[in-house]
Amino acid sequence: MAEQFELGFGAPARLVAGVDEVGRGPLAGPVVTAAVILDPQRPIDGLADSKKLSEARREALAETIKQSALAWSLGRAEVDEIDELNILQATMLAMQRAVAGLGIAPDHVLVDGNRCPELPCSADAIVQGDGNVPEISAASIVAKVARDREMAVLDRCYPGYGLAAHKGYPTKAHLAALVRLGVTPVHRRSFAPVRRVLESGGD
């Protein structure tokens, strides 16, 4: 993948980082991003869009990626940052944090989606990159495993909402629990379903 990109003056990009996010749509929890620089000498079989992999396969691949990649890093934006900035800007911030956390500075970054955050290097946005670009697929897997694990922890902290099952997404069960139990500190108050509960008197 790296040889397809040039830095200028005909010099090939040597270190390409893939970046992806997990958690833009949920009503609760942080948005989590990952940046991964794969090692071309240690290819990883089975990389794909994390949403199309089983939980067990994602878990196994996440460990392989962490062991085999040249560098990987997680970034995040917290619930209060999401509410303050809006989810798009919070996601861009989390992506910047993931890239900044890499132990090796990339020459080029490939971002899943249709827009890139401001970065200290060149970058391209690739729609459906998580299913087609190995670097982005790896980032999507690492980010999803990390966020899913965190939502399982939050489920134990805030029982009754089903956070471990739906990961904070607005399922019928989650919406019903919000009405029944009220809003927790990990819910995004700027999101309409949560805001409606607050306006109706839910904590």
- Quote the pLDDT of residue 23: 97
At 4 the pLDDT is: 45
Domains annotated for the chain, with CATH where assigned, are 2-159 (3.30.420.10)
**Concatenated DSSP letters for the chain?**
-GGG-EEETTEEP--EEEEEEE-SS-SBS-EEEEEEE--TTS--TT---GGGS-HHHHHHHHHHHHHHSSEEEEEEE-HHHHHHH-HHHHHHHHHHHHHHT-SS--SEEEEESS-----SSEEEEETTGGGT-HHHHHHHHHHHHHHHHHHHHHHHHSTTS-HHHHTT---HHHHHHHHHH---TTB-TTSHHHHHHHHTT--
**Average per-residue pLDDT in the chain?**
93
User: Does pLDDT of 12 surpass 90?
Assistant: no
- pLDDT tens-digit readout, 117-171: 999 999 999 999 999 999 999 999 999 999 999 999 999 999 999 999 999 999 9
